[in-house]
Amino acid sequence: MFISMKSVSAIVAGICLGAVAFQAEAQEATRLREAAKGLFLIGNAVPTRAFSDLIASDILAQDFNRLTCENEMKFDATEPQEGQFNFRAGDTLVEFAQKYNMKVHGHTFLWHSQTPQWVFQNPNDGRPMREVVLARLENHIRALMTHWKGKIQSWDVCNECFEDDGRPRGFSPWRQNIGDDYMEQAFRIADKVAKEFGEEKVLLVYNDFNMYKPGKVQAVVKMVNDFKAKGVRIDAIGMQAHWQSNDDPSIETIEAAFKAYAATGCKIIISEMDINTRNGFRNSGRGLERDDSVQGNADSSADALAKRYGQIFDLFVKYHESIYAVTLWGIGDSWSWLRGGQPLIFDNNLDPKPCYYSVLESLKKGQKELKK
Ligand code: XIL
């Protein structure tokens, strides 16, 4: 049962979420978490204020079994000053996840954004900047992996390092300071540090947006194959999935990317899914950007968005053997970073939208197939 806004006042403080979390076991699944069993993990990305919101917490515990910090495990949040770590917000999410038997995804070690300036400042101690920045990265990765040892099952090692056409990202202070092999170095460090703690099972992930664009697909596949040939560990490919509610990208295009990524032997993670419904705006990976050519979105039609979510989840179900997890980037529309995009499966009041039910139906169909 969903807790509606109207009934919140009737809910007594201290309600035990766990008691209701698994009640649907015996009957047909009524919540996503149950329905996704055996297919893939189903996740959500949240700010830690979600855990002091009764409705949001209830949804997270009942519908999802994997959590990502929307911002609080990023470099600027966890190490704002060199050597001064802040784990408090991340700990809140990890504790909630443990209480409700959920996996945790760490986001993210190396990214050109939300990384503090000090990382790229020259200490003028005679060392080359490549050495300085690599040492800072290693220190950071070691501190986070030590702190959350045994509590985080996958990490985005590198985030958003390619342009859509497959060239290396133009603006990257990491690449500028370390050199062209910066991603390889980051994965080598993450693997080395993971091994120090017996954390070899932690999945090391490359994550990016527009991961269906042919140039990017080719570049990522090439990188993964190069890594494998050199013995550099990479376990999963994260497709952010900031997509449009019209047919962009098309199901065929997404499927072609799945085939290419699955052929590398890596697992696929749908890592940041949201589907923009606003005409005249594109869901670009940098947020909603004005683009007058974008028409045909489902801005006024909840049913069209439901259809789109359903078709996409049918595809996820078809490829469930290659997909490790599907994570939505937020709970309800008012929590979304895409203001006005109404891109999520719960509305502003955290009530389920029609697309919630189309996702549920896709998962249930998938589960029926599994049982055959
Ligand atoms: C976004 C968050 O949702 C916002 O709250 C923040 O202001 C900016 O970052 N790609 C990523 C995510 O890898 O970390 C971004 O998250 C969305 C795009």
pLDDT of 101-152, one tens digit each?
999 999 999 999 999 999 999 999 999 999 999 999 999 999 999 999 999 9
Do the beta carbons of residue 326 and residue 42 sit within 8 Å? yes
> Best substitution site from 329, 334, 336, 339 to test ligand 1's pocket, by max atoms within 8 Å of Cβ?
329
Specify the residue for token string 């170095």.
185
Q: What is the DSSP letter of 117?
A: G
pLDDT grade, residue 25 (50/70/90)?
very low
Kindly report the pTM of this predicted structure.
Answer: 0.94
Atom of ligand 1 nearest to the CA of 336: 3
Q: What is the rounded average pLDDT for all residues in the chain?
A: 93
Instruction: Retrieve residue 304's tokens.
Output: 């069209």
Question: Under 8 Å CB-to-CB from 307, ≥6 apart: which residues?
Answer: 358
Chain centre distance of CA 107: 8
> How does pLDDT run across 146-169, given as a tens digit for each residue?
999 999 999 999 999 999 999 999
Give nearest CA residue, ligand 1 atom 7.
337
What are the two backbone dihedrals, phi and then psi, of residue 43, each rounded to the nearest 5 degrees? -125, 170
Residue 70 CA to ligand 1 center (angstroms) comes to: 7
pLDDT > 70? residue 24 = no
Mean pLDDT of 266-294: 93
Atom of ligand 1 nearest to the CA of 207: 13
> Best substitution site from 46, 68, 69, 70 to test ligand 1's pocket, by max atoms within 8 Å of Cβ?
70
Is the peptide bond prior to 108 cis by the omega test (within 30 degrees of 0)? yes
Number of neighbouring beta carbons within 10 Å of residue 103: 19
Residue 71 CA to ligand 1 center (angstroms) comes to: 7
Q: What is the 3-state secondary structure (H, E, C) of 173-201?
A: HHHHHHCCCHHHHHHHHHHHHHHHCCCCC
Put residue 296 in one of left, alpha, beta given phi > 0 → left and psi -120 to 50 → alpha.
left
pLDDT > 70? residue 26 = no
- β-bridge mates for residue 346, sequence order: 332, 352
pLDDT > 70? residue 23 = no
Do the beta carbons of residue 90 and residue 148 sit within 8 Å? yes
Instruction: Retrieve residue 210's tokens.
Output: 């527009």
More confident residue, 18 or 99: 99
Helix (H) or strand (E) holding 203: strand 203-208
Residue 314 CA to ligand 1 center (angstroms) comes to: 26
Is the peptide bond prior to 249 cis by the omega test (within 30 degrees of 0)? yes
Question: Under 8 Å CB-to-CB from 211, ≥6 apart: which residues?
Answer: 217, 220, 237, 238, 239, 240, 241, 257
- Nearest-angstrom CA–CA distance, 199 and 220: 25
- Nearest-angstrom CA–CA distance, 4 and 350: 8
- Nearest-angstrom CA–CA distance, 102 and 109: 21
Q: Which residues have a catalytic role annotated?
A: 160, 272
pLDDT > 80? residue 264 = yes
Do the beta carbons of residue 285 and residue 329 sit within 8 Å? no
Give nearest CA residue, ligand 1 atom 5.
337
pLDDT > 90? residue 53 = yes
> How does pLDDT run across 301-343, given as a tens digit for each residue?
789 999 999 999 999 999 999 999 999 999 999 999 998 999 9
> Best substitution site from 207, 337, 338, 344 to test ligand 1's pocket, by max atoms within 8 Å of Cβ?
337
User: Ligand 1: residues whose CB is within 6 Å?
Assistant: 70-71, 159, 240, 272, 285, 337
User: Distances in Å between the alpha carbon of 127 and those of 24, 139, 316?
Assistant: 59, 16, 48
Number of neighbouring beta carbons within 10 Å of residue 142: 17
- Structure-derived torsion over alpha carbons of residues 175, 181, 185, 186, reported in degrees to the nearest 10: 40
Give nearest CA residue, ligand 1 atom 10.
285
Domains within the chain, CATH numbers bracketed: 5-371 (3.20.20.80)
Residue 286 CA to ligand 1 center (angstroms) comes to: 8
